[in-house]
Structure 1
Amino acid sequence: MLGTLSAFCLLGVRMPTPRLARLRPDASVVPLQPAPSRAVAGRLLGEELRRWRESRGLTLKDVAPVIRGSTSKISRLERGESPPKPRDVRDLARHYGLGQQEMQLVERLLEQAQDCEWYEQFSDVTPTYLRRLIQLEGSAKSICTFENQVVPGLLQTREYARELVRLVMPGASEDEIDRVVELRIRRQLILAHGVPRLTALLDESILYRRRGGDRVMREQMEHLLRAAGTAKVNVRVIKLDRVTPPHPITHLVFPEGGPSELAYVELIRSANYVTQTRALDDYRKILTHLRDISASLEESRDIIVEAAERYR
């Protein structure tokens, strides 16, 4: 569940109906720095490494010993899911017998991929699998996420996130909690850009599962309403009488220049990154089905408003 503990919304929008207008949440806007290029460079580098390996008729198993690792390590490197280590990349480049121009490309992409991302400063309180997701979110053009336990990380308020962090880190100090919450808040900042577009599919039970007191829950409901009022965020509620998967699913689509898409399936203390065509197709079908059975945009807003009223 750690992967879902993110922060707040960035755009305050007046609700269009009288019923929605009764809610008067704060509408704070947070400025953003330009998106870093590290994630894109890492994916491009991985794509080049894969292309060079395949052109030489080598399998993942063939080249894993070159970097003293496993086939899964090579696979993550080629998919751009792991920060590339210069030694590993150069060893592979030499093994593939790359020419001078190809080596220059490797060094340029490696330099760009090694630029420090903002979230690296939180590496001591963030599992590796979540850092990979944050990296990928920053370069996606669209994200569709389904949640059945908590509000999706990209739509959480600060206090809602704090309650979740306290729940999953019962022995943490206040300083550690503050650092984790700050990471979640910083993760939200991608919503200030033109991309990605976000579709959030929420099991209705999330709206009534308390994470903190009435104030925390009401602010979170109001925050969902603000997000649902923006052009780039589509919030849809799946009613309780519908059958939903037992775990969260996130599908990311990327612009040209790397892997076109992947699915992220979060488990209790780990996560799976799905890139195989058949498995991806299965997850796309699941998310399409969930969109089809979810309430309409207007009806979803009414459901969230009703939930907010319960926390007065």
Structure 2
Amino acid sequence: MPAEPYDRSPSTARVLSLHRGRRDDPPALLLGAQLRRMREERRLTLEAAAAFIRGSASKVSRMERAESAVSERDVWDLVEGYGSPADERAEINELLRRVRRDQGKKEYSDVTPGFLRRLVRLEQRAVRVFSYEPYAVPGLLQTPEYARAMVLSELADEDGRADEALVERHVFARRNRWADFCDAGGAELLVIMDERALHWSVSDDAVMAGQLRRLLDLAETDGISIRVIPRDGGFRAPAPLAFTHLVLPDRPQQVQVVYVEKIDGADYCTDETRLEKYRARMERAMGLALSWEDSARLMRRLVREKEAGER
């Protein structure tokens, strides 16, 4: 524990703009400067801060001066130790994302499961992405509130409790996935969901209404199409598991990869025979799905129902 007491309440921590430094400052310098400001605002010594990362004062000093690569775990341990409020945590998350991008190393948070990391990289390289989801909104398109409910369902113990700091980091990772996808230029994106994915309640009606509104907003964006397979049409789902088909602009010809999600992992398929089966499932899903206009009408109706349920 730190040698000096301090007030951990959010009201004492002044959130600073990411642009306090020069606009051309490398992200690592901005991150270090932010960590230093956070420590100094709480009137903590380097030795006191070092206790949070189980390290030395010199290590904290190097982090603040951006003289060595930082681990995300150390940064988040400092943030947790400083009792940072939500806005400050969001700034740190964005700076870490920019550091990763600037260094050209990881395109994912260290809490991202190993089986998902390859998909995140492939999404950023792809020219076309097709995603089929039978039960939930795809992680790439989730709102923070929806993502939080999903993460809680995965991490909570039998009493419904979970490490709030860890939950928050998982939510940040899902937000970063979309931001990194857009930063990469944004592939053409087609998402098809079973209607049951829009009815399955991960939280209260307000969360689902907000998620539906986000889907409607995204589908107005060029290059993004979101369509729904209706549950009352007598159709069977085209595949029992979620899968994503990606087209990569490799030379001399394009390369196709299918990511097949499982309960505790995933498979990556490049074999032409299996690829052909998934292309057939894609065609079937597109044939079963409503048009974008009818899908939007369905989602708008569900928004109204969810909003009515809130009252």
- TM > 0.5 fold call: yes
In the alignment, what sits opposite 1:133?
A: 119
Higher relative contact order (CA 8 A, sep 6+): 1
Q: CA deviation at 1:192?
A: 5.2
Equivalences, count = 196
In the alignment, which of 281, 291, 296 is matched to residue 276 of structure 2? Answer: 281
> Relative to structure 1, is the Cα distance of residues 307 and 192 closer, same or farther in structure 2, using a 3 angstrom cutoff?
farther
Q: How does 1:168-179 map to 2 (within 5 A)?
A: 168-171=154-157, 172-179=162-169
Quote the RMSD (CA, aligned, Å). 1.6
> Contact between 2:107 and 2:121, CA under 8 Å: does it hold in 1?
no
Q: How does 1:163-312 map to 2 (within 5 A)?
A: 163-171=149-157, 172-189=162-179, 190-191=181-182, 194-240=185-231, 241-244=234-237, 245-257=239-251, 260-312=255-307
How big is each residue's C-alpha offset from its partner over 1:252-273, in whole Å with a ceiling of 9 and x where there is no partner? 0011248611000000001010
Q: CA deviation at 1:200?
A: 0.4
- Alignment TM-score, normalising by the size of structure 1: 0.60
> Relative to structure 1, is the Cα distance of residues 192 and 299 closer, same or farther in structure 2, using a 3 angstrom cutoff?
farther
1:160 aligns with 2:150: no
Task: Find the aligned partners of 2:254 and 2:267 in 1 and give their Cα distance.
Answer: 16
1:116 aligns with 2:116: no
Structure 2 residue ranges without an equivalent (≥5): 1-102
Q: SS at the partner of 2:125? A: coil
Q: CA deviation at 1:118?
A: 3.7
> Contact between 2:143 and 2:214, CA under 8 Å: does it hold in 1?
yes
Task: Find the aligned partners of 1:195 and 1:231 in 2 and give their Cα distance.
Answer: 10
Larger Rg belongs to? 2
- Identity within the alignment, %: 34
Structure 1 residue ranges without an equivalent (≥5): 1-113
Q: How does 1:49-60 map to 2 (within 5 A)?
A: none
Task: Find the aligned partners of 1:287 and 1:153 in 2 and give their Cα distance.
Answer: 19
Task: Find the aligned partners of 1:161 and 1:228 in 2 and give their Cα distance.
Answer: 19
> Contact between 2:125 and 2:184, CA under 8 Å: does it hold in 1?
no
Task: Find the aligned partners of 1:146 and 1:310 in 2 and give their Cα distance.
Answer: 25
